[in-house]
Structure 1
Amino acid sequence: MKAFLGMGLLGSNFVRAMIQKGEQVQIWNRTAAKARALETYGAKAFDDVTEAVKGATTIHVTLKDDDTVNEVLAMAGKGLEPGAIIIDHTTTSAKGAAERTAAWKAKGYTYLHAPVFMGPQNALESTGNMLVSGDQDVISRVEPELSKMTGKVLNLGPEEGKAAGMKLIGNLFLLTLTAGLTDTLSLAKSLGIPSGDVSALFESWNPGATMPARFKRITEGNFKQASWELNMARKDAGLMMDAAKHGETALSLIPVIAAVMDDWIAKGHGNDDWSVIAQDAIS
Structure 2
Amino acid sequence: MKAFLGMGLLGSNFVKAMLRKGDAVQVWNRTASKAKALEKDGAKAFDDIVDAVKGAAIIHLTLKDDDSVNEILKAASTGFKPGVIIIDHTTTSVKGAVERTAEWKAKGFTYLHAPVFMGPANALESSGNMLVSGDQDLINSLTPQLSAMTGKLLNLGAEVGKASSIKLIGNLFLLTLTAGLSDTLALAKALNIAPADISALFESWNPGAGMPARFSRIAKGDFSKPSWELNMARKDAGLMMHIANEEGVKLNLIPAIAADMDSWIAKGHGADDWSVIAKDNL
Q: Which runs of 4+ in 1 moved over 2 A?
A: none
| 1:203 CA drift (Å) | 1.2
Q: Tell me which residue corresponds to 1:130.
A: 130
For residue 234 of structure 1, give the secondary structure of its aligned residue in structure 2: helix
Which has the larger displacement, 156-165 or 206-215?
206-215
| 1:155 CA drift (Å) | 0.5
AA of the residue aligned to 2:35: A
| 1:236 CA drift (Å) | 0.4
State how far apart, in whole Å, the 2-side matches of 1:53 and 1:259 are: 53
Q: Percent identity?
A: 73
Which has the larger displacement, 142-151 or 155-164?
142-151
Q: Tell me which residue corresponds to 1:105.
A: 105
Q: Tell me which residue corresponds to 2:70.
A: 70
State how far apart, in whole Å, the 1-side matches of 2:20 and 2:241 are: 52
Alignment root-mean-square deviation, CA: 0.8
| 1:263 CA drift (Å) | 1.0
Which aligned pairs between 1:2-41 and structure 2 lie closer than 5 A? Answer: 2-41=2-41
Unpaired runs of at least 5, structure 2: none
State how far apart, in whole Å, the 2-side matches of 1:21 and 1:213 are: 40
Q: Tell me which residue corresponds to 1:277.
A: 277
Q: Tell me which residue corresponds to 1:47.
A: 47
TM-score, normalization: structure 2? 0.98
State how far apart, in whole Å, the 1-side matches of 2:41 and 2:200 are: 42
| 1:180 CA drift (Å) | 0.4
| 1:216 CA drift (Å) | 1.4
State how far apart, in whole Å, the 2-side matches of 1:195 and 1:57 are: 50
| 1:199 CA drift (Å) | 1.1
Q: Tell me which residue corresponds to 1:145.
A: 145
For residue 130 of structure 1, give the secondary structure of its aligned residue in structure 2: strand
Counting matched residue pairs gives 282
State how far apart, in whole Å, the 1-side matches of 2:247 and 2:199 are: 20
AA of the residue aligned to 2:84: A
Per-residue displacement from partner, 1:169-192 (whole Å, max 9, x unpaired)? 111111100000110011001000
Per-residue displacement from partner, 1:134-155 (whole Å, max 9, x unpaired)? 0000001111111111111110
Per-residue displacement from partner, 1:199-221 (whole Å, max 9, x unpaired)? 11111111112212211111111
TM-score, normalization: structure 1? 0.98
